[in-house]
Amino acid sequence: MISVGKTFLMPSGQNKEHLFFVILGPVDIEFLPRQQFLLVNATSIRPDIPYDDACILNAGDHPFINTTSYIAYRYARLETKNHLEQLLGIVLKPHADCSPELLERIIDGARKSRQIRKELKVLFL
């Protein structure tokens, strides 16, 4: 079942999987299908590559995170409940739930980030 605080691995990038966090939902947004969830992913910090510092994750903040990482708010995405449930266990691999403290840090980062799309940022105001 999809709900806030759930995490899963999803293929993205060059033959890699990223950890995605469900940070909002289900919400109904005008002009979109009902029951939307907002997802953000964690990405490792690499030397000499700019990154969004709104929410930094340290090794151990979540069982999957083993190196300093950040939440890539610029790639935040809305997905419908039905679509996520169809992919769960096939493309999406469930992972350990996010702790309430980490979830709050990620949501706070969404409020601070300059890289999250404005139409998504307003969902947190």
Region 12-41 average pLDDT: 88
Q: Is the pLDDT of residue 70 over 90?
A: yes
* DSSP per residue, 86-125: HHBTTTBEEEPPPPHHHHHHHHHHHHH-SSS-HHHHGGG-
The percent of residues in the chain predicted with pLDDT above 90, rounded, is: 80
Task: With a cut of 80, say whether residue 48 has pLDDT above it.
Answer: yes
Contact assessment for residue 80 and residue 57, using Cβ atoms and an 8 Å cutoff: no
pLDDT category of residue 85 using cuts at 50, 70 and 90: very high
Across 35-56, average pLDDT: 95
Is the pLDDT at 87 greater than 90? The verdict is: yes
